[in-house]
Structure 1
């Protein structure tokens, strides 16, 4: 798509021969081999999930926010997310592509996990083991369709992601205060994802979730290293940048899409967060 600002490749889910089960298992080496012209470094928007683990090596990925990739990095790209693989020449590890409906029953808490996070050595080993199991079953399904089981592939994928998700140990109830704080943050983060175009004040989320603003602030600072207001503002800013860079909407249209009733308020917000007005920021992306 050419929108006058940045070209964005629209990537459709086109499984390889023998992989028509809603999931495909590959690796960074295969991605490099199938992309000799390095189009992966240009902005792209997939209509499917990409879940990747860096088993070794280093590189970088970007979704307006730069992410340094190293051994133990996990990356989860959701459908519709504009992103690019800036540098994965030295990265090794599995990449799993799957359709949005391939993981039924996953809650908003799972699907709103960060784009990129880090696993320690033991959790990385277990996640790579789970990915290898999924890969073996996927290859078996491709070679011997009579042995194929989409439900089994779906369960193995769910097991892999649950093993790799940040904060997974808290789900076991092994911690009390820390686990409680994490759950408060997850509830807040999920609500932000759902209502960021409607609610621009932490107090709105506090009322809806049944917490006070101070509780949300403490939980967000513990989990994300920033206050609840800054977390909300940065998420709105990220969505604003996506609209400005990858659509032809005028600034006023972006403001309305994000729930700002007045374009002046949107401009003030954007200038305060990004250091320049939205039109000037958009011009830098040309």
Structure 2
């Protein structure tokens, strides 16, 4: 997130949650930037990184000094040296007050990594893990080294920066991150195989258009039973539960981070009647939309 904007490329043109576009002031390649978190914070001070926002690209942050916190989709992660954060396109986030916190901040568009590698699956995992607390052992050393190699290539002063080298270095970094344990994370997309991966991509495209499992099965060429089997393997939930959870998350984001009327939010999410949306939301969260908004909506 390198420049402020009303819209974020890849998100809806009438996106109600503020976004930041990918537009580095200077970069030797297209689609990637690496900088310090503190430098980015100073550069974007007027844009308000401490306000709620979302982006259409990936960010990886490895905290190297100090402490602070970062909130992503209603979960606040304490940050300290060794904390690794991966924020994916569309997630809603807010930087806490940085204080003494600093670290290496890597930004890349979904199109930057080469798509002939297994890392392509990771780029599409918008729902993957967000935070790891790395011990000062092998994992931390390996990731620190890889991040350092990307920075060294990105900042070459001889004019010989190679986009191909950066792409392959990034793929290596992503595959190493994929090896990290998913502590406390039930969602394991590997268990659902290609079927689950394809379903989640289609779900991200279509959750505001349809909540019917049959529609997803028809679009992907699978039976509902096959989709449910893949979802159960990956998440422990049926396909309908996964669909409803995605719609519920977006509803929570919009209720908490915008002032749009409940009826307008219902329309955005494909509900023909606000009352039907209210019943759906209450069933899945235990709170009416208005009550949820009053509890969770803070200063923007």
Q: TM-score under structure 1 normalisation?
A: 0.72
Q: Corresponding residue for 1:173?
A: none
Q: Corresponding residue for 1:192?
A: 203
Query: Which structure dedicates a bigger proportion of its chain to helix?
Result: 1
- The equivalent position to 1:50 in structure 2, one of 35, 59, 76, is 59
| Pairing of 1:35-114 with structure 2 (within 5 A) | 39-46=48-55, 48-54=57-63, 60-68=69-77, 71=82, 73-78=84-89, 80-86=90-96, 93-103=103-113, 105=115, 107=120, 110-113=123-126, 114=128
Unaligned runs of 5+ in 1: 169-177
- Write the distance in 2 (CA, Å) between the matches of 1:214 and 1:90: 51
- Write the distance in 2 (CA, Å) between the matches of 1:85 and 1:95: 13
- Write the distance in 2 (CA, Å) between the matches of 1:119 and 1:166: 14
CA contact (8 A) 1:49 1:97 kept: yes
- The equivalent position to 1:204 in structure 2, one of 202, 215, 218, is 215
CA contact (8 A) 1:56 1:72 kept: no
CA contact (8 A) 2:17 2:258 kept: no
Higher relative contact order (CA 8 A, sep 6+): 1
Q: TM-score under structure 2 normalisation?
A: 0.69
Displacement of 1:12 in angstroms is: 3.6
Displacement of 1:132 in angstroms is: 1.6
- The equivalent position to 2:145 in structure 1, one of 129, 135, 158, is 129
Q: Corresponding residue for 1:223?
A: 234
Displacement of 1:239 in angstroms is: 1.1
Query: Aligned pair count?
Result: 269
CA contact (8 A) 2:190 2:234 kept: no
Unaligned runs of 5+ in 2: 7-15, 182-188
Q: Corresponding residue for 1:24?
A: 33
Displacement of 1:124 in angstroms is: 4.8
Q: Corresponding residue for 1:116?
A: 130
